[in-house]
Amino acid sequence: MASWKEELQSRMEKHAAGKETSLLCFDIIDSTNEEAKRQGMTDAPEGLFVVADTQEKGRGRRGRSWESPGGENIYMSVLLRPSFGPEQASMVTLVAALSVAKAIRLIAGLPAMIKWPNDIVIDGKKAVGILTELTLKEGGIESLVCGIGINVNQKEFPEELKQTATSLCLEKGEQIDRTGLILAVMKTFWEDYRAFSGRGDLSSIREEYEALLVNRDRQVRVLDPKGEYTGIAKGINEKGELLVEKEDGQVEAVYAGEVSVRGIYGYV
């Protein structure tokens, strides 16, 4: 019987995603983001996807770890070599969120939504995390790595995550095809990323992104270090900032790198 790596490689060769992208698979790795960054220091091409079955040092945002048990989930990172500057890098995270949400809808038939800027939620619980990291060189970006962790077939979560985390399998009530989902993410991401990098802003995906934005027209609390406030999320602008209408009618553009946003009644 073919291993998961052989199956993925062989399906990749026949898949549209295989034409401009490449794949590196591991049974165990420290972190696919770390490996993609290491590859970024060689002459590895843009569009290299690193996929692992298990991560020993999976990393989340804000210095947290990302639990990465084997045989159930997806841990993947893509290496990019953008010509744009570091100030545009955070937009790639929104591109990734949209492409993963679309791939989940296609392969699992689940109503995946985006919690701005880049968590994917299903029925109010988080099923995907995305971590984007930059390596800089003089005058610009050496490499940009976008890492995606999808809870696919995991059935148990630690007590402290049970209220806020879920998996595709728990939502669907059946096992989901990990290989098909990896290939779908590669295809949707690559298409959306090319459209984005051609323009240098999110105008190509803004409408689609807003249609899947779970916060849209909902009350949110903006945890701005300069002063917290509550408002209604209206959508995003072409830079990916969240547009929040305050009680006085003024619309603030909230930048993802500086502040976080919470629903006022819980995670979403």
Task: Select from 114, 112, 64, 118 the least CA-distant residue to 91.
Answer: 118
- Give the nearer residue to ligand BTN in terms of CB position, either 33 or 179: 33
Cis peptide, bond prior to residue 117, ω within 30 of zero: yes
- Give the nearer residue to ligand BTN in terms of CB position, either 60 or 200: 60
| Shortest distance (Å) from residue 130 CB to ligand BTN | 6
The Cα 74–Cα 219 span in angstroms is: 32
- Give the nearer residue to ligand BTN in terms of CB position, either 32 or 99: 32
| Shortest distance (Å) from residue 63 CB to ligand BTN | 10
Q: Which residue is nearest to ligand BTN (CB)?
A: 129
Asked if residues 199 and 215 have their Cβ atoms less than 8 Å apart, the reply is no
- Give the nearer residue to ligand BTN in terms of CB position, either 160 or 174: 160
| Shortest distance (Å) from residue 176 CB to ligand BTN | 17
- Give the nearer residue to ligand BTN in terms of CB position, either 234 or 262: 262
| Shortest distance (Å) from residue 184 CB to ligand BTN | 17
- Give the nearer residue to ligand BTN in terms of CB position, either 75 or 231: 75
What does the binding site for ligand BTN look like in residue numbers (CB under 6 A)?
Answer: 31-33, 55, 58-61, 64, 66, 75, 77, 129-131, 147-149
| Shortest distance (Å) from residue 91 CB to ligand BTN | 17
| Shortest distance (Å) from residue 173 CB to ligand BTN | 24
